[in-house]
Structure 1
Amino acid sequence: MAITTAYKARSDAVPLRSFKTKGRRSAIAGMGVYAPDKIVTNFDLEKVMETSDKWITERTGIRARHFAEPGTTTLELATRAAQSALDNAGLKASDLDMILVGTSSPDGPFPSIACRIQDELDAPGAVAWDLLAACTSFMYGLSTADSYIASERADKVLVIGAEVLSRMLDYSNRGTAVIFGDGAGAAVVTPAPEGAGFLSWCLGSDGRGYEQVTCGNVPLGAYAAKEP
């Protein structure tokens, strides 16, 4: 199976909760990104599924997306983005206290991508774990980093979002297949200068809508659907 949707509008949305940062504030000290070289345009998708550049652009604004080549791992994308963020922040991996990775497409169920990155970057002092919250994983990662810094349990946290979703796409479903691509982004979060930093967080979940976007029975790190 692959990523599918069963969209149904709701009028009784669960209200969001606002969390004000208590303690010292945090801020993003550096950012990094990495995307595979292969670019798949809307016109490429026209050749393998029932859709058009006009249909995709009008509904999503997307004109192209990056796809990883066969054999490229989520770990590779995440590590490249992480190193770029560290360079941008002027820090070494050995400075890190924590590594958080948000992904729905890990290379395997365990060990976590975060632990693998800790090894790849040589950051022995960093505690590391993955977050699974689909599209919101990076935001939850930033919020978690902020909480640890606010409580003075960490000073330098690396937050990464990385996906290789092209191998999970259902090309018979243009509602989802046209949206997703592959890539990674990372941010180094540190204590903020006086008068700056994150002020609060607004988070919410609605488990009643779980059936609207689903992905099941995909062998992690091995599934390879037909690609354009």
Structure 2
Amino acid sequence: MPQEVEIIKNNIKNLKETKIGGCKFFTGTILSHKVTLTQSGIGKVAATIGTTILIENFKPDFIINTGSAGSLKDHFCIGDVVVSTNVTHHDVDLTAFGYAKGQCAQLPIHYSADKNLIDQLKSVLAQENQNYHFGLLCSGDSFVASEHATLKIKKDFPEAIAVDMEAAAIAQTCFMFDVPFVVLRAISDGANNDSSMTFEEFLPIASKNSSKIILMLLENL
């Protein structure tokens, strides 16, 4: 969403915008780093298209997926930062063929985030007065806005800490192209019956917190 990338976009020097396949790519520099900021749209198909174009046309060394997420843990607060150790799909079910919940055919159960990027983020977050959590993130092509949907995800993936609509598609694409990745998002809602209201209200807080950590990470790379 535009709100989720605006802060980072405003920090890019020599900004150039390119549109390919319905996606927007903002290139330039942040500090000494050449960066490409991608605005792909909402959902897993849009995220896959955007990530594939990014990899094929802009050749990134690594990919950081940022934005907002819904909490799957009762003790998480709005604005808390969540970082992926692993990522999976919560709406994929090939268990009839012997696969685990969330596992696509002939692919891993989970997609593991890059250890070096995780370690870098741990170092950055340790310097901040910011609540943060590392763990499994899961994605699906629905905005989770009911207790029923949340309970099902928690039952299928009890270790998952947050839910979104793009991260698993980005992670799977990175896996298939052998590009290191990590997901860093901030909590905008509780993935419950109030989510549609709280998401709009708290998205600016989530966007600010996730963007701040991304910019700090770039300072430390």
Which protein is richer in strand relative to its size? Answer: 2
Do they fold alike, i.e. is TM over 0.5?
A: no
RCO comparison, higher one (Cα < 8 Å, 6+): 1
Bigger Rg, which one: 1
Which protein is richer in helix relative to its size? Answer: 2
TM-score by length of 1: 0.27
TM-score by length of 2: 0.28
